[in-house]
Structure 1
Amino acid sequence: MRRVFLSLLLFFCLTSISNARTINWLAHDFAPYYILNGQFQHQGRDESIITLLEKQLPNITFNRMIIPSGKVVQELSNTSHNACALSLYKNEFRKQHIYFTDESSTTGLSPSIAMHARLANALELKDANEVSLLELIQDKKLTLGVSMSRSYGKEIDTVINSTPDIDLVIRPTRDSLASLTYMLNLKRIDILLGYPSEHYYLAKSMHFDKNLTQRPLKEAPALSYGYIGCTKNAQGAEDIKILNEQLKKIKHTKQYNELLMRWLPEHLKPLFQQRMVLAKK
């Protein structure tokens, strides 16, 4: 009888383990979305949103996997494994290989430029006012810094690639934005293209945040959206359904909305909130 009891106990334990659900989250070293070390370790926007989802789903194990940022889409497209990633750009080509949530997982301000505060004052560019990238590089003849092989949207890419006789500095290294931020502080370039949260995090971590400021661009859309993507197989379909429902819940919380603004400079937070309100109408 004791043997039967132990056998049944073992069976239920094994069954429980086999039925336990796990979501493998792909993360990568890309601050301020994932901050893997340093002063602000684990305070990244995206990794914090994953933690919010984890708290909503106590019966599901969240397993974080650190991979190179350039491998995320490739890994999600491999149907022999199961994984999900937060804050992905969604397009028709990617939808052929990856399941995406209908709900956005992150929302942020679109690409902006960073510059010295003194230059912004000299050009009379007020805090949250949109500026024209074309005017700055063509008419004002400002030197623009950009990261190699990075797209900033069709209109901005067209301005960079089609405007003749502009001063352009391109950095191809892995830490290109950090390198360019250092150059910006030294005034070796005049303006730097990137996303507001990236600009602010780098300036703050390098102790340049008192020197540098940011301005939104007329050529960029009001907001940028990211979505959760999961492997396109049976488990991925189930994971997407669950995560989509949880996104609907957490997006109404104060904590989620504070995370979206965690790495925005103070002068751009009201602009972000205003655009979020308009987007919901």
Structure 2
Amino acid sequence: MVAALMPRIFLTFILFSYLSPVANAKTINWLTHDFAPYYILNGQYQHQGRDESIISLLEKQLPTITFNRVIIPSGKVIQELSNISQNVCALSLYKNDYRKEHIYFTDESSTTGLSPSIAMHNKLADALELPNATEVSLLNLIRDKKLTLGVSMSRSYGKEIDTIINTTPDIDLVIRPTRDSLASLTYMLNLKRIDILLGYPSEHYYLAKSMHFDKNLTQRALIESPALSYGFIGCTKNEQGAKDITILNERLKVIKKTQAYNDVLMRWLPEHLRPLLQSRINGTK
């Protein structure tokens, strides 16, 4: 009797295993990299990065899917995504026509942030009479005010700002090519070896805070920058990538309505720039 039941019990076990969400659970491989404050891999603020936190919000929305984080150099992200033999995704990517030929992107943005800003010493902001809410002109500061500008090598800040940097004659420019160029430039800014530093607001704030310079340094939005900077999820352009993009696009619509998502976007902004980001986001709805 027992022997006769064994095949039936075994078949039932196989069917249960096949239909089980755990057995059918698939994996999304997320490309991450050591780039604070988007991914913070160690130190005091470990795992509090903006982008890695949004991945965690998506993970909670998709309990039957395993999220596997893969750490690679930031310069390799697009290359890995473009390899159709892979099955990988990445958060917060700029979307353009060339990339869309090789990568699937969500229609829904995964991150929204303020565009490039400048950091400066509080004393300089006071001397120039620039209140917190003031948007400033980069061209005016480097051409007319003759301020020394620090920038990271081989980094784009948008068409208008790039044009100003590359075509304005007789400006005082300090360029740093190292991997930690923004940290090096922030150190110089605090010592007043440069006057202003170009970067993204969250990066400025994170570095100033982690280097304990946040009481000395401040930021101002630039009139030459777009109101907002958007990032999208990209996945490998193959059959699996198409499925992943569809799922992630729908989940983004859900998490973007939550307070937790809004809090993540604001986490690495200085207090005086948070209302600006919120007002600009509200203005786009």
Please indicate the TM-score interval, normalised by the length of the shorter structure.
over 0.9
1:227 aligned to 203, 212, 232, which one?
Answer: 232
Matches of 2:198 and 2:233, distance apart in 1:
25
Which TM-score applies when normalising by structure 2? 0.95
2:169 aligned to 156, 164, 171, which one?
Answer: 164
Matches of 2:131 and 2:44, distance apart in 1:
31
* Percent pairwise identity: 79
Question: Which position in structure 1 is the counterpart of 2:48?
Answer: 43
Deviation at 1:14, TM superposition (A): 6.5
Matches of 1:223 and 1:87, distance apart in 2:
13
Counterpart check, 1:105 vs 2:120: no
**Structure 1 letter corresponding to 2:65:** I
Matches of 1:151 and 1:12, distance apart in 2:
53
Question: Which position in structure 1 is the counterpart of 2:181?
Answer: 176
1:54 aligned to 40, 56, 59, which one?
Answer: 59
Counterpart check, 1:31 vs 2:5: no
Secondary structure in 1 matching 2:204? helix
Counterpart check, 1:88 vs 2:93: yes
Gaps of 5+ in 1: none
**Structure 1 letter corresponding to 2:278:** Q
Counterpart check, 1:9 vs 2:13: yes
Deviation at 1:15, TM superposition (A): 7.3
Counterpart check, 1:72 vs 2:77: yes
**Structure 2 letter corresponding to 1:39:** Q
* Larger Rg belongs to: 2
Matched residue pairs, number? 280
Matches of 2:17 and 2:175, distance apart in 1:
57
Matches of 1:258 and 1:20, distance apart in 2:
30
The alignment's C-alpha RMSD in Å is 1.4
Counterpart check, 1:119 vs 2:124: yes
Deviation at 1:20, TM superposition (A): 2.2
Counterpart check, 1:19 vs 2:24: yes
Matches of 1:172 and 1:59, distance apart in 2:
43
Question: Which position in structure 1 is the counterpart of 2:190?
Answer: 185
